[in-house]
Structure 1
Amino acid sequence: MDSVMRKSLFLLLPLVVTNAHAVYVDVRHEYLDDSKANYDRAYISHRFANGVGFAIEAISKSGGDDTNKAFNDLETQGNEYTISYQFKTGDVAWQPGFVLETGNGYSTYKPYFRATWTLNESWWVGARYRFEYVRRSSDIRDDDTINRMDVWAGYKWNNFDWTIEGIYKKADKYDLYDGGKD
């Protein structure tokens, strides 16, 4: 076997290994009405048979003069790196974990605890409490802490999963959203 053929086979090896493992891929677009901004996320994760899981998420946002237009002058918003452990008791999956988010001039440390209850083959509900410590290094704002609660309801059909999510956040130093009150 010549050198070029060996190099080609070596370069194809990661594709073979990748196809042998199951991964979860989540691509989403979101619009935040309070800031009039569009965000896009690509999330890839894997959970091993022993319950340990990891994930990487790339986050971008619309930039330029028209942040309220989807996919306008996309800019990097940050990246998230997650490590977690999941175990089940009956129909409930418990998941303690830790997320590190990094971006331009900040790092956010996010330990969390999540519970997901499988109601039947199609429906599930979940909740997560997450504490967030925002460490800012490039602007004049102080570091901040945020208490966050998420709730979900989901429906699975074949290989698709539809989810509705509610989020409550309370920051110690800054108003995240005040309902239009000044």
Structure 2
Amino acid sequence: MAKKAPSGTPAMVALQKAGIGFTVHTYEHDPAATSYGLEAAEALGLDPATVFKTLLAEADGVLVVGVVPVLGLLDLKALAVAVGAKKAAMADPAHATRVTGYVVGGISPVGQKRTLRTVLDESALTLTRIYVSGGRRGLDLGLAPADLVTATSASTAAISRSRA
């Protein structure tokens, strides 16, 4: 019998090809939602501390990915330090969409069109399972933080700060 081909979003296909286990969590996305990550946590009944958002920044002109808890903010100075850059700024959303192949609010750290340097906030390592976008709004994937590091070749650093 032939082996079943991976299916789903590019993020799901990439995890399947890598042999990484994950769970799929879907919900009805509200177009009026202003915080995609907090919307996901609420809709899925998850502890918001376990839900992480994927943000793109330009560090010295190079696109990088920061994955941080939805309850926090991406600390651009800390991200710059983590990737050895002098400064970082949020990437233009249209550029992020073109480069990753995902729409803003559904950008997954896994399965992007181009491999980008990724930094996962080190707070994830204290959790047994985290949830990240599965590649579209209304879809999150649950997996072990170490598996996300493996799937994205991510480094870890303190790149999140609390909301003021």
TM-score strictly above 0.5: no
User: Which structure has more RCO (C-alpha within 8 Å, separation ≥ 6)?
Assistant: 2
The structure with more strand, counted as a fraction of residues: 1
What TM-score range do you get, normalising by the shorter chain?
under 0.3
